[in-house]
Amino acid sequence: MIIVDTSPKQQTKNYVNLGLSIVSKITNAQIVSYREKIDISQEHEIGFSIFYPLHLFNALYFIRNNGIEPLKSRRKNCFLTAGGQGISNLRCTDDIFDHIFAGEFDYDYNMKNGKYNSPNRIWHFASEITSQPEINGNTAIIELTRGCKSKCSFCEYSWVHGGKYREKDMDFVYNQLDYVTHMGIGRVNFTSTSITGYSKIFDLYNSCKEMGLKILLADYPLKDIRIVIKLDRSVNAFKFIHIFPESFDPDVRYSIGKAISNEDLLDYISFTIQHYNMITITLMYGLPNDDYNKWYNFVKDVGILKKLTKHPVRIDLKISDFEPCNGTPLWDVPEVDFTKKNEFIPQWINALQENGLMAINKDTSLHKMCGLLGRRECVYKTMMTLRKRDTSITDALLSSFHNGVNRWLHKQQCDEFLSKI
Ligand code: SF4
């Protein structure tokens, strides 16, 4: 069996896809790039790791480039499976892949005579996390938790991919830390959606300190400010922090599950800018009922905090776009309205500049803002098509993005795809 890594990042130094690595070890599968040509007569089972929904086009590139019949009804002697974090819609490629799964691939993988003998049970959520550390240079990547204790109503991970919250046993983690330390590793990256939710968080930090390991971590959950304050910051490798309040309208935060008041959020920001050199605050444009006047007002308070700080600190406010996802409580609310977003952007930039959170002379054209303002409309619409549609888009899928997708999608390619829908 082979597994095709569909991520364009795979050629990059330091690229690690932990999920793919775990699955390839369980299945003994060789990992190949979506750019590779293989001897198809030797491969009866091909898995596709789709980390990001748009990477589906890279799976289709591999299928085309290797002369594989794309429609499962016509394909003989070759079984195609797709899985990974980028699988958000099981319907849209149902006539291409023989099996698609969203969530964990674990130990129920059953093979008999080269075929899946129980295709409905090839994935499930493991009750225990037993993955081994992944080593990348001087860094060990150690899986710590799966699932999330919070259930934010927009979050595809918590409702679809993550499953029930589970955590790796601390004794087991301790042994893994000891093992990597003896290999000469100096840094550890714990994978978890909410590290401060780990029940043995203080033991974890103490163990890393005792072993001289630095923790590579910048994302801390908003609700756990009291835990974050007590953590031993000397173990942190990073001097920056990244938080995701999603909205500066407190009513919206409470309605989506990010229950933190304006006062507590300001306290959190105040604490982080005292102790770190940089903070990134990510917000999500397009959530239902958001009042953007409250965003502009809150920005004033953040600007005041920055002005009062005695040391230089960088505060980046970043916008992502709300993508209603299948399987979440918000799956059927309206998508982002780009006419309204295009009216919002200049007001937002103005609010940031007036309050000292963006340089007045910054080039604010979309391509210069490096993702600070969210997606371009054509990319968003392409993404939402993949998330929402069914096999009626098969012809468009198979006849677009002939060379796959890289990290940057061209407008012309997106428009061509969308025109066929
Ligand atoms: S805290 Fe993060 S991972 Fe957890 S449900 Fe909310 S958005 Fe999802």
pLDDT at 258 over 90: yes
Return residue ranges of the chain for CATH 3.30.750.210.
127-238
Q: How far is CA 170 from the centre of its chain?
A: 25
Work out the average pLDDT over 338-359. Answer: 95
In words, the CATH class of domain 2-121 is alpha beta
Task: Please give the Cα distance from 156 to 162 (Å, whole number).
Answer: 8
Task: Tell me the two tokens of residue 226.
Answer: 């009291």
pLDDT tier for residue 3 given thresholds of 50, 70 and 90: very high
The dihedral formed by the CA atoms of 211, 214, 219 and 224, expressed in degrees to the nearest 10: 40
CATH architecture for the domain at 242-374? 2-Layer Sandwich (3.30)
CA of 299 to the centre of ligand 1 (A): 23
Return residue ranges of the chain for CATH 3.40.50.
2-121
Nearest CA to ligand 1 atom 1: 150
pLDDT at 121 over 50: no
DSSP secondary structure letter of residue 11: G
Is any atom of ligand 1 closer than 6 Å to the C-beta of 151? yes
pLDDT at position 110 is: 44
Q: Does the structural domain 127-238 have CATH classification 3.30.750.210?
A: yes
Is any atom of ligand 1 closer than 6 Å to the C-beta of 213? no
Task: Please give the Cα distance from 285 to 295 (Å, whole number).
Answer: 11
The b/e string for 83-109 (b: 16+ C-beta within 10 A; e otherwise) is bbbbbbbbebbeebbbbbbbbbbbeeb
Work out the average pLDDT over 330-334. Answer: 95
CA of 255 to the centre of ligand 1 (A): 14
User: Helix, strand, or coil here: 199?
Assistant: coil
pLDDT at position 348 is: 96
Return residue ranges of the chain for CATH 3.30.750.200.
242-374
Q: What are the C-alpha distances in Å from 137 to residues 25, 31, 140, 188?
A: 19, 19, 8, 11
Nearest CA to ligand 1 atom 2: 193
Q: What is the pLDDT of residues 15-61, one digit of tens each?
A: 889 989 988 888 888 999 999 999 888 878 899 999 999 999 999 99
CA of 193 to the centre of ligand 1 (A): 7
pLDDT at 289 over 50: yes
pLDDT at position 108 is: 46
Cα–Cα nearest to 417, from 404, 406, 298: 404
Report the residue count for the chain: 421
Task: Please give the Cα distance from 72 to 96 (Å, whole number).
Answer: 5
Task: Please give the Cα distance from 410 to 408 (Å, whole number).
Answer: 7
Nearest CA to ligand 1 atom 8: 155
Q: What are the C-alpha distances in Å from 385 to residues 10, 152, 220, 233, 259?
A: 25, 23, 32, 43, 31
pLDDT tier for residue 122 given thresholds of 50, 70 and 90: low
pLDDT at 177 over 80: yes
SS3 content of the chain, % helix, strand, coil (to 5): 40, 15, 45
Is any atom of ligand 1 closer than 6 Å to the C-beta of 243? no
pLDDT tier for residue 106 given thresholds of 50, 70 and 90: low
